[in-house]
């Protein structure tokens, strides 16, 4: 399910993209599907660029980037000055509870998921504008909208990232930049390796996201669980929390 934004659509064919966290999971799928759809170049950003597998895609350019390193983020924006499409995929979870976790772990989740995403956008927004506008896709989560036992530090950081996405959409509207939020439940990647519940197909999730930005969507809700959670926001939150505790996901 996508929410349209009539101001701008995205042309992937011929685009120059940068994907953070592109060495595995959803990031790897984003990088490859972008090239399959005709992107001219994809900067595959990762803390260890040597871990990026080109996989027979000549347009894939490994790029060193730790989104929590401000100097490194600014350096990456200088190197990748031709970017027209930014995919903020990098994220972390330390499976933290708000009352019991080491505060450093909670701060690390916020540092990456909120502050890291903001740092990348601040560095690349002028790049996108100089290249005629562009698109920013922020990979959020159904957990932007709901709490979860043992993972509420991640929930708080993703809720903050959702608010960040909404704010950026407003602030970048006059720069002809589309800002899209992608909400998804668990998908079958390394990121969800410790989760025992049902997991979606990451390739299908990425296809939905790319279809969404090509259509000019402000928001892409990639699966039934995320759609259910969004619909539940208008209801008593205790009902959704009871479903989650009961494993109705």
Give the residue among 180, 71, 190, 85 at the shortest CA–CA distance from 128.
85
Strand 41-46, strand 16-20: pairing = parallel
Q: Which of 43, 154, 199, 230 is catalytic?
A: 154
∠ CA 239-219-95, nearest 5°, is: 55
Q: Which of 43, 158, 199, 230 is catalytic?
A: 158
| Tokens of residue 18, six digits | 């940068």
Q: Is 154 a catalytic residue?
A: yes
Backbone angles phi, psi at 50, to 5 degrees: -70, -15
Q: Is 195 a catalytic residue?
A: no
- Alpha-carbon distances of 232 from 145, 146, 242, rounded to whole Å: 9, 9, 12
Give the residue among 59, 60, 5, 56 at the shortest CA–CA distance from 27.
60
Name the residues annotated as catalytic: 154, 158
């Amino acid at each position: 399910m996508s929410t349209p934004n009539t101001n701008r659509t995205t042309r992937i064919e011929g685009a120059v993209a940068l994907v953070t966290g592109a060495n595995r999971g959803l990031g790897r799928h984003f990088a490859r599907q972008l090239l399959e759809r005709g992107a001219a170049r994809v900067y595959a950003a990762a803390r260890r660029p040597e871990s990026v597998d080109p996989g027979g895609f000549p347009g894939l350019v490994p790029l060193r980037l730790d989104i929590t390193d401000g100097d490194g983020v600014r350096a990456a924006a200088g190197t990748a000055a031709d970017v027209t499409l930014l995919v903020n995929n990098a994220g972390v979870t330390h499976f933290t509870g708000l009352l019991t976790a080491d505060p450093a772990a909670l701060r690390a989740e916020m540092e990456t998921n909120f502050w890291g995403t903001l740092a990348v956008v601040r560095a690349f927004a002028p790049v996108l504008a100089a290249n005629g506008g562009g698109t920013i896709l922020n990979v959020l989560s159904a957990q932007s909208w709901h709490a979860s036992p043992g993972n509420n530090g991640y929930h708080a950081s993703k809720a903050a990232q959702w608010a960040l996405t909404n704010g950026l959409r407003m602030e970048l509207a006059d720069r002809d930049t589309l800002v899209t939020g992608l909400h998804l439940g668990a998908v079958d990647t390394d990121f969800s390796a410790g989760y025992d519940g049902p997991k979606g197909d990451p390739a299908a999730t990425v296809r939905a996201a790319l279809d969404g930005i090509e259509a000019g969507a402000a928001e892409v809700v990639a699966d039934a669980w995320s759609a259910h959670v969004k619909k539940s926001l208008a209801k008593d939150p205790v009902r959704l929390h009871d479903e989650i505790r009961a494993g109705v996901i």
